[in-house]
Structure 1
Amino acid sequence: MEVILKEDVANLGHRGDVVKVADGYGRNFLLPRKLALQATANNKAVIEQMKAAAARRSATEKAQAEALAAQLEPLTLSFTRKSGENGHLFGSVTSADIAHELETKGFDVDRRKIQLVEPIKAVGETSVAIKLYREVTAHVKVTVAAEGAAEAETAEAVAAV
């Protein structure tokens, strides 16, 4: 069965592509979810119009993603967590924590776009990638400090005065 994709489908194609799929996959998955249309002559004409609109939309989305990436690049996010003596955190800093911190700074970024292979479990500085669009990725610096270390530094500063 030939279908025209209305949305990007992972491992299949991008919006507007004409692809050949198994009958069951097209009938039971793509068509009911409105991810695709059957490839007929009328639908192909409609899709050409949709492709032009999608190209314009894609260009604006990419421009917005690049502007957001330019704002995110100089950003440094700081977290304070309890840690052991060797700098290993008792908890961790996850993509949800990073997304929440970005939200408090005025950036609306979905946590699924934050590309952490595994949660941050050590004190220190880490660069975290945020995939904003297909070819647009921003890197944000994340600093994790030990909770007790900040109090100890403050006590030393007071004692020195």
Structure 2
Amino acid sequence: MLVEVLLHTKIDKLGAEGDLVKVKSGYARNFLLPKRMATVATMASKRHIELLRKRRAEREAAEFQTAQELASRLQKLKLLFTLASGSEEQEKVFGAVTAQNVADRLKEEGLEIDRKKIHMDRPLKELRIYSLEVDIHPYVTAQLHVELVPPAEKAKGKETKTKGEARKRPASKKTKHSAASEAEASSSDTSV
């Protein structure tokens, strides 16, 4: 047996706030009504439908407007990730940038985006610029630019260090105790 109910909140695959829907009586009696997500549709409650629909339209318009503003901010933004890379010929990096890394960086920038709304086929592993699609609203998507760059020391090191300079290392590090014992040993050898 179907019952007509008026929804107070949005329920996936059923309807939005203010919708008049027909559901099975057990679903309404055991889930929707006890959680106050809906009420049984009566003549009095049907009058409130227009008020709820107006509220919903205003709320959806405000959400759409904020989603568009967020999309414009995301399109202007360019995130840089520094990852250690392999040889100069390869553009591969050690490690990867995932949707969670991008979401964390966006949070640092003051933008709350769920990682599930950032579309990535696979983790980013090459040194280049990526354009990621971000779902902000059902009708608004934005393009986010992410660039993977090598570490600054490596980029500077390519120009300033040669292979010979890079190989020069101190032979060994001596502690104060070992230096003092060597001095005593050399003075005792000369006195005999």
Structure 1 residues 41 and 14, CA, compared in 2 at 3 Å: closer, same or farther?
Answer: same
- The amino acid across from 1:81 in the alignment is L
Q: Which residue of 2 aligns with 1:63?
A: 65
Scaled by the length of structure 1, the TM-score of the pair is 0.79
Structure with more relative contact order (C-alpha pairs < 8 Å, separation 6 or more): 1
* Structure with the greater alpha carbon radius of gyration: 2
- The amino acid across from 2:123 in the alignment is I
> What number of residue pairs does the alignment pair up?
157
C-alpha distance in 2, partners of 1:155/1:95?
Answer: 31
Q: Which residue of 2 aligns with 1:131?
A: 135
Q: Which runs of 5+ in 2 are unaligned?
A: 163-192
Structure 1 residues 32 and 140, CA, compared in 2 at 3 Å: closer, same or farther?
Answer: farther
- The amino acid across from 1:69 in the alignment is A
Structure 1 residues 116 and 32, CA, compared in 2 at 3 Å: closer, same or farther?
Answer: farther
Cα displacement (A) at 1:155: 0.3
SS in structure 2 at match of 1:132: strand
Scaled by the length of structure 2, the TM-score of the pair is 0.68
Identity across aligned pairs (percent)?
34
Cα RMSD for the two superposed structures: 2.5
Cα displacement (A) at 1:146: 4.7
C-alpha distance in 2, partners of 1:151/1:89?
Answer: 15
Q: Which residue of 1 aligns with 2:123?
A: 120
More displaced 10-residue stretch of structure 1: 8-17 or 116-125? 116-125
